[in-house]
Chain A
Amino acid sequence: MGLFKSILSKVKQGLQRTRETVFGGLRSLLLGRRLDDALIEELEARLVQADVGVKTALRLIDGVKRAYQSGAMSTGDDVLEYLKRELKALWPAEDRSLHFAQASGDGKKSPTVILVAGVNGAGKTTSIAKIAHSLRAEGRTVLLAACDTFRAGAVRQLEIWSERLGIEVIKGQQGGDPAAVAFDACDAALARGVDVLIVDTAGRLHTQDHLMRQLTKIRDITARRIPGAPHEVLLVLDATTGQNAVRQAEEFARAIKVTGIFLSKLDGTAKGGVVIAIHEATKIPVKFIGVGETPEDVEPFDPENFIEALFTDR
């Protein structure tokens, strides 16, 4: 994918090196080893500990057990092949690029609207800074909408990022109506003719019906102001989240038709394996991963690297 390439090549080189040593966990666990009960148990432990979910873990492990008992598999190398095949089947080739507004018949292009949502503390604002930075690096003009009018300091937080990045923010009053801010931001985006408008929203638990409805309203407002908006709806998901993330994804998808996941905080020890369960339940693709605190710390999601990382022991 073209996006992010230019600025990321440098960062990626660094990460690639770490990958080869750290992410070779699956290989070092399996290659050259004879298959036995202890090894199967170790595999199960690593899968569960990566948050892939009990169902997925047990299904994979049952496959290994059956093949082991029937004699079809006898070495770690066999298992490695099997697991990679199975896990890759969970991540078919799919469109993981950002969707932009298309030019209309008369050649005019309205702004692309990216709506960003997630539970409290998922990392929405930092992720927005990352996306904005990358889009800018690609030569696109960006405008931000600070629709988190609820949490103390949220607007200021986005503002500080915008000052660092040199991007304008449209904001409202603390405690004001976030949909009204979205409305103004859409008008401002149209008036200024920017390429992309990124809408930051307040963190909310997916169990709070009234807050979820508020989110639907924000979505609808953008759709009414700008044709085809929102072109992209990103759910920011904390990689440390466990199986509850599936419920989050389902509820946010229902409220605002999520088109992609931004998996944040993958720079710790969390594996984010729950996105496999999410993919099985909702078919929402993971589009980006967040790997640090600076605006450069974002990468396009790569299933192969991701699967490798699931098995590392740390």
Chain B
Amino acid sequence: MFERLSEGFQAAFRRLKGQDRITENNVRESMADVRSALLEADVHYAVANDFCEQVVKDALGREVIKNVDPGQQMVQIVHESLVRLIGGEQAATPGVPRVSPGPTVIMMCGLQGSGKTTTCGKLAAYLKKRGRSVMLAAADLQRPAAVEQLRTVAEQVEKDMPGGSQVHFHSEPDKVAAYGQAVGAAIQVCQSAYRKAQQLGVDTLILDTAGRLHINDELMKELAGVKSAVPPHQTLLVVDAMTGQDAVNSAKSFHERLHVDGAILTKFDSDTRGGAALTVRRVTGAPILFIGVGEKLEALEEFHADRIAGRILGMGDVVSLVEKAQQEVSEADAAKMAEKMAKGQLTFDDFLEQMRSLRRMGPMKQILGMLPGVGSMLKDVTIDEKELDRIEGMVHSMTKEEREKPSIFNHSRRKRVAKGSGTKVEEVSKMVTRFETVSKLMKSMSGMGLRGRMSAMRDLQAGGSEMAGMPALPGFGMKKSTAMASPKSRFKKRK
């Protein structure tokens, strides 16, 4: 999502290339571009100005390192400053605190439409996965059907999300009223939710409050009331990542009234440049703990400032990618797969499984966007997830024998598969051919080092013009790296 911001930075640093040292003039000149890029990315005016001023000071105070071009040096300085600005000095451990005796209370607050209720559900799923029982309390008594929405979300988390612990729901529908009316009733709802959570021995209680304008004094007082009646251990501000300059005003007001402990940025899967992240961090001083990256309940990620700063600078986000892969694929599975690949024994069933676990990691475009240098390339590319559905369909239409021995495919088999999956015979042929090519390639590559594999992949891409359209065999290029060595050791090697 920081792709465009990255472009601005890169333009600024290109200017510095070819100059042999950092001077006040060339730094200031390149920082003017950086400032425009930050403003264009919705970083608040004052925050952007301060940031640029600080970077200029840092840069000028440094020894000029010989043999390193000033552009490179500036990238480093800007990167460090960005990490400092978004992440703060302390290495905040992301996650949710836990108090004993429980329940741990978390209060969510924010403007209307920022995504509080959805985020409550995601947070509950996050905790459930970690073995913590949760109660969701519906303290949004104003938006029509907000209580019903949270109830449904709570049920979905309880029923569909991984983890064994329980998800409870508390609501008092009789207290629901129109916006601006019955202000204060939310305080009682939160108090009774707290008592109930205590009795049930719930680990964490999440309070979903109504969206409100930061200038609505009465409603802001209500939140302060909740805060003193049921002291939450963590007050989280939910902020839409697409917010513009006004983020400064709302963040400031919420922070002044409630003392915000952390922020969650939502809708991070849009193509927003996300300057609000920098603004909120600067204004509240509170760390950004999570980002929401999709509509599904599992689409909540821990926020890592250094990675986001890396993305801003076009350096990709390999660590997040490796973490995602780890969640989906166990080391044992990966090893088994690697062995099969090395022997050239890959079947369509393996392929299907790989494609599925890759897709579970999120939309393809989002995953590829995390790779260094790929982000800006993908800007105008649309990846048709339906294409992947079609491939799955084709594999489903194959017999067991066909899946295990692709070589037996003849015209009549291809025709049957095409019919079964609602595709064309040519599509099936192309898919089978591609599968065999890649399968052979995997076998020959298994003996190569990283460098050899990379160039082999490049050859595959270069020679693949007739395979236009992205989903060649989506699983392979990426899954290979998890399969060949454990993700962690691979990443260490790269560093």
Contact = CB atoms under 8 A, between A and B. Distances in A.
Q: In the complex, which of the residues A53, A239, A241 has the most CB atoms of chain B within 10 Å of its own CB atom?
A: A241
B365 to A, nearest CB: 8
B250 A151 contact: no
A241 B214 contact: no
A210 B147 CA distance: 29
Interface stretch (B124-132, B381-389, B423-431): B381-389
A269 B76 CA distance: 36
Interface string B355-394: 0000000010000000000000000001111100000000
Interface string A5-43: 000000000000000000000000000000000000000
B245 A205 contact: no
Contact of A156 (B145, B180, B242): B145
Interface stretch (B36-44, B66-74, B308-316, B448-456): B36-44
A154 interface: yes
Contact of B384 (A160, A206, A209, A294): A209
> Taking chain B's interface residues, is the majority helix, strand, or loop, or is none over half, making it mixed?
loop
A58 to B, nearest CB: 8
A268 B179 CA distance: 15
A82 B121 CA distance: 51
Contacts of B249: 268-270, 314
A70 interface: no
B250 A240 contact: yes
B256 to A, nearest CB: 14
A119 interface: yes
Interface string A289-308: 00001100000000000000
Using C-beta atoms within 8 Å of the partner chain, give the interface range for chain B.
Answer: 35 or more
Interface string A217-253: 0000000000000000000001111111101000000
Contacts of B26: none
Contacts of B115: 120-121
Interface in B32-55: 36, 39-42, 44-46
Nearest to A152: B152
Contacts of B250: 240, 268-269
A121 B113 contact: yes
Interface stretch (A44-52, A60-68, A106-114): A44-52
Given A119-B267, A120-B115, A48 B245 contact: yes
A117 B185 CA distance: 33
B215 interface: yes
A258 interface: no
A274 B180 contact: no
Contacts of A120: 113, 115, 118, 267, 295
A262 interface: no
B284 interface: no
B44 A244 contact: no
B246 A269 contact: yes
Contact of A48 (B41, B45, B113, B273): B45
Contacts of A152: 148-149, 152-153, 156
B144 interface: yes
A207 interface: yes
A244 B242 contact: yes
A311 interface: no
A92 to B, nearest CB: 24
A238 B243 CA distance: 9
A54 interface: yes
B269 to A, nearest CB: 6
B114 interface: yes
B145 A50 contact: no
Contact of A238 (B39, B118, B240, B383): B240
B111 interface: yes
Contacts of B487: none
Interface in A189-215: 205-210
B45 A45 contact: yes
Contacts of B215: 268-269
B244 interface: yes
B213 interface: yes
Contact of B114 (A45, A121, A151, A243): A121
Given A153-B148, A244-B273, A293-B180, A119 B45 contact: no
Contact of B40 (A53, A122, A153, A209): A53
A183 interface: no
7 contacts: A153-B150, A242-B247, A244-B242, A244-B271, A268-B250, A270-B244, A293-B178
Given A121-B112, A242-B244, 18 more contacts: A48-B245, A51-B244, A153-B152, A156-B145, A159-B145, A161-B144, A205-B267, A207-B270, A238-B240, A240-B244, A240-B247, A242-B272, A243-B244, A244-B270, A247-B271, A268-B111, A268-B213, A293-B178
Interface of A: 45, 48-51, 53-54, 58, 119-123, 125, 150-154, 156-157, 159-161, 174, 205-210, 238-245, 247, 265, 267-271, 274, 293-294, 314
Q: Which 10 A-B pairs have the closest CB atoms?
A: A242-B244, A121-B113, A153-B149, A242-B42, A152-B152, A160-B144, A293-B179, A157-B145, A156-B145, A270-B246
